[in-house]
Amino acid sequence: MESQSIHASISEVVLDPQAALDFVGDDVNGAALLFIGAVRNHNLNRPVKGVTYDCFSELATTILRDIATEAQGQTTPNLRVYVSHFKGFLPIGGISVVIATASPHRDDAYVANRYIIEQIKLRLPVWKHEHYTDGQEVWLDGTAVTPSQ
């Protein structure tokens, strides 16, 4: 889902941070910020070997776009946003989410980028199925969603 200033997507192929930076680049913007979420090798004192991300892709794409639009509304119309979340299995170090924001001045890029990742944590219909080195696996606890969010 893409407009002139927002790219929002769910991806089943490896996420590309450079593509995110390329999308938000614009001569009017003097600041660009890149957030990368990655799979870490531990969680709650358990060694992790990977995470499978389940996703309701149709709804998630809409919600990602809504979040990016809200970030624009809270900062500047010049804000450019690239946000993409991965769906599928990732090993340690795999990139689960990429958020690039760019704006004329740095504060808006920082504020928008932080807003987007925090809203993803609260609202995006994505679920982590964590795989441990001992062979066990578990769906992680999460945040209940409501229509008002």
Partner 1 sequence: MIEIEVRFFGTFRRYDDIAPLRLRFAAPVAMDAVRAQIADALMAHDQDFDPKGIFAVTALATERAILPADHVFEESGNIALIPPVSGG
Contact call for residue 19 and partner 1 (CB under 8 A): no
What binding mask, one character per residue, do residues 79-118 give for partner 1 by CB under 8 A, x or -?
Answer: ------x----------xx-------------------x-
Contact call for residue 145 and partner 1 (CB under 8 A): yes
d(CA 73, CA 145): 22
Binding partner 1 (rule: CB under 8 A), the pick from 62, 92, 94, 137 is: 62
Q: Give the interface segment with partner 1, choosing from 19-27, 47-55, 73-81, 103-111 (CB under 8 A).
A: 47-55
Q: Which C-beta is closer to partner 1: that of 67 or that of 102?
A: 67
Token pair for residue 13? 């192929």
The two beta strands, 126-132 and 46-55, are antiparallel
Please list, residue by residue across 81-97, b when 16 or more beta carbons sit within 10 angstroms of its beta carbon and e when fewer do.
bbbbbbbbebeeebbbb
Contact call for residue 53 and partner 1 (CB under 8 A): yes
Question: Are 28 and 104 in contact, with CB atoms under 8 Å apart?
Answer: yes
d(CA 62, CA 111): 21
114 CB contacts (<8 Å, ≥6 apart)? none
- Least separation in angstroms between residue 138's CB and partner 1 is 9
Q: Give the interface segment with partner 1, choosing from 17-25, 69-77, 104-112, 135-143 (CB under 8 A).
A: 135-143
Q: Which residues bind partner 1 (CB under 8 A)?
A: 37, 53-56, 58-60, 62, 85, 96-97, 117, 120-129, 139-147, 149
